[in-house]
Amino acid sequence: MAQQLAHSQQLKNPKYRNWVKAGLGLKYLKEGLETFSDDVIDQQHTDIINVVQKKHNLPMVNCGQCNLRTLQPDHVRNKNKQCPLGQNNCNCMFPGGKITCPNNVCGTIHDEIIINHASNPPAPNWKNTDVQNWCTDAWAVAKCYINAPGYATKRNAKEIDCTGLLHLYINSKFLQGKIQCKITGQDVFTKTRSARNTIYHSNSMEMEDIEVDEHIDNMIAVLEDGKELLHRQESQDAVIKLKELKNSSIVISAQDEALVIKEAYIELDQRINDLNETIQKGKEAITQKEKEALQAVQKIKEQLENREKEVLDNILKHEAETCAVIEKQREVAIEDITASVKQLEDSAYTQAKKDFQKRLVEMYLENVVKVSPVLLQPERTDTVISQLYVDPYLEIEPREKDNTQEKTKVSSYTEIFEKDGKPLKLIYLIGEAGSGKSTFCIDMIHKWCLAHSEQCTQESENVQFMKKFKFLFYIYLRQTPAFKTIPSCLNYENGIEPFQTNLTGASVPTLSR
């Protein structure tokens, strides 16, 4: 929280905001210039290769064997041992040990690079290039026009900062032909090229309103150059972003801030390297001014390091918090959905069970519990069982044959269905023919029906007990000859020996909790 505050507090400082905006401006400018630069660099390369091909009447232009230190240029020094192209320390001035390109290619490209250089005297930056790639890589040629170190390994416009890109338009005559702006030293290209140093070498990381507005206006002018850039989509997109930056209420994120700090950091690193190089070269001749410059830059770098750490911590913390919140929301959502689905399933299942139970009750009341009061007239089913029924004498027979336990008289369903408070799984009712087993079952069915009737008023202990069973299935085994044993008809597979007997005439009420 403290760091988040630090971020917003810091960004409340309008001058610091301006500094971040200027850095973002450079980023947008670069985005707007990248594709166009790649295109015109290719055109420049084709142009140079065509010159080489015509000059030496070559079917194709290819080499890759030469190196800059020993390369003999096509041109030769004049009578005064000076370079006719005006380049200082040109290879032509020291012909000893120089080798002509075996393919008649590299010497001409070398000359064309010098001739195409816009400064006076021409000063291609040979440190940024590798001669062996000249024939195949447009950027190997183009980087000779970036008059600053640090680009030797860059391969395309995306990898090159906007200073590097602007150098190309300032130093290549071919590229100057692609813009309307005249490079005079006071033009928007040159001014914007210097802006990067002004912005990133600022030791306060602050900038006045008027200053940042001027920088951004120049960037817009570069991208709206009337010749070709103005018509490019990516330039137009970048201009929109640059104009938004000028709006004082624009939101600047911690990510934007971190990005600008990172760029500043890279720039300062480069500056420190340059200064160290100068100091190394100069040794004793090193001036106090350069030493002070180095100290100053190192101090800014330290400041940046601290600020970068703060901003990055802030981003990480914010991301972690966001992730945690999202994860929590996701978990809650999943729980809600799961609960709702379960509730729906449960209610559907419960309802289906209730309906089924109701139908069973109706079926039993209609077809089973009405019996004949006259034994010899079984078709007279006009009396409900309870009107005739008298409890039979029942006793519990121990399961094991050698059990010496005494038989106990049964007086309630609890004693039949439970033992030590636990429900029994399988109970056999055994008795002589005509002793009332079927009637006992029918009475039990009636009691179950009463227990599950909506208007149940029966408070007898056995009716209450029947409430424990949600379902009662009354199966006439005489009508289901497929079942040969009681366990098989109950689909009872609990390791109990099937009860081998002739079941003709038996009936089984099966209860389900």
Residues that bind Zn ion (CB under 5 A): 63, 66, 83, 85, 90, 92, 101, 105-106
Q: Are strands 394-396 and 418-419 parallel, antiparallel or unpaired?
A: unpaired
Asked if residues 137 and 123 have their Cβ atoms less than 8 Å apart, the reply is: no
CA distance 506 to 503: 5
* Amino acid in position 84: P
Tokens of 78: 């004049």
Asked if residues 222 and 229 have their Cβ atoms less than 8 Å apart, the reply is: yes
Q: How many helices (H) and strands (E) does the chain have?
A: 16, 8
Which residues contact residue 1 at a Cβ distance below 8 angstroms, ignoring those fewer than 6 apart? none
Rg (CA), the chain: 49
CA distance 443 to 436: 10
Bin 253: left if φ > 0, else alpha if -120 < ψ < 50, else beta. beta
DSSP string, 95-123: -TT-B--TTS-HHHHHHHHHHTB-SSS--
Q: Containing H/E element for 422?
A: strand 422-423
* Amino acid in position 76: V
Q: How many CA atoms lie within 13 A of 204 on its CB side?
A: 9
Asked if residues 112 and 45 have their Cβ atoms less than 8 Å apart, the reply is: no
Tokens of 413: 């369903």
